[in-house]
Amino acid sequence: MFGGRDFAYITVVSRGEPVTAISRGDGRIAPAVADTLLPLAATLVALLFSGLLLSGFVRRPAGQKAFWSAGFALFAAAALAEAAAQRSGWSPALFRTYYLAGGVLTVACLGAGSAWLLLPPRARDVLAGALIAAAFAASVTVLLAPVDEQLLAATPSGRPPANSALGGNAFLWAITLNSFGSIFLVGGSVYAIVRRRRVRANAWIACGAIVVALATGMSRADNYTFVYVGELLGIAIMFAGFRLAGASAKTVQPSPTGVQLAPGARAR
């Protein structure tokens, strides 16, 4: 008794019943919030990189900047979809966004930016037209593909669903555009290094792409411990390479006579 009132200090509860009102939750709220932190960080970093590349494109237009900016924006969209899904669960709309932006288009756009630096003008026009057509067709395919909602619901927290959750032929676009993007992103960088063209920039781009590929490979092996950290590190390394490539592309300018001039030089 205290203050003229009786208080019960010990309460006996059945096994499995909540001891206090605080313990009535299912215990998943804190882990769900924690699972969103790295995808959200990846979203913010990718948006920052996309914005910096876009501002560079506005100041001095160049095709590779536009493709790289689009690639980072798509990466940010995929990471944001994943952050939202880790908080509230995967829905067909979130998974389609994640699959299309991250699994189909991101690498294709980044690879197209690297290809832009290597191809002649006419081939660049073909590249841009083909990529736009392929992106449109892939988007329609992904949006119309059936989604296995039971597989989405069974996905453990902290990881994306298996690609098999999306039916139809969407996987063909993922394979085709990822292969194209990887060939130009890594293969193009290696080719440029061998030819001693923008060696530092292409070394950074190739290393960043390899880090992202290794992080993705870990997820294929059902290990998600360092996937988001690896993706963050990989895109940061690639961005450094893209910035170097953009800077080195400005060091040589064509003159009206066809002679390559340094910035500020005049043809005589």
Length of the chain in residues, anyone? 268
User: Average pLDDT in the 249-256 region?
Assistant: 48
In a domain, 56, yes or no: yes
- Is residue 262 in some structural domain? no
Q: Is residue 65 part of a domain?
A: yes
What residue numbers bound the domain in which 239 lies? Answer: 36-248
Q: What is the mean pLDDT of residues 55-59?
A: 92
Q: Is residue 12 part of a domain?
A: no
Is the residue at 157 inside a domain? yes
Could you report the per-residue pLDDT of 182-223, keeping only the tens digit for each?
888 888 888 888 888 888 888 888 888 888 878 777 766 666
What phi, psi does 126 have (nearest 5°)?
-65, -45
Dihedral sign for Cα atoms in the order 147, 148, 152, 156? negative
Q: How many domains does the chain have?
A: 1
Residue 106 inside a domain? The answer is yes
Higher pLDDT, 142 or 33: 142
CATH number, domain of 138, equals 1.20.1070.10
Q: In angstroms, rounded to a whole number, what is the distance separating the alpha carbons of residues 149 and 134?
A: 27
Does residue 166 fall inside a structural domain?
Answer: yes
Q: Name, in order, each residue with C-beta under 8 angstroms of 27's C-beta and a sequence gap of 6 or more.
A: none
Burial class (CB in 10 A: 0-12, 13-18, 19+), 41: middle
Q: Is the dihedral of CA 49, 53, 58, 64 positive or negative?
A: negative
pLDDT beyond 60 at 52: yes
- Rg of the chain in Å (alpha carbons): 25
Tell me what the mean pLDDT of segment 32-55 comes to. Answer: 84
| Confidence (pLDDT) at 16 | 53
Tokens of 222: 């059902």
Q: How many C-beta neighbours within 10 Å does residue 155 have?
A: 17
Q: Which amino acid is at 103?
A: G
Of the pLDDT bands very low, low, confident and very high (cuts 50, 70, 90), residue 141 is: very high
Three-class SS of residue 23? helix
pLDDT in the model for residue 70: 95
For residue 1, is it within any domain?
A: no
What is residue 144's predicted lDDT score, i.e. its pLDDT? 94
Alpha-carbon distance of 203 to 186, in angstroms, equals 9
Task: Output the DSSP codes for 107-133.
Answer: HHHHHHHHHHHHS-HHHHHHHHHHHHH
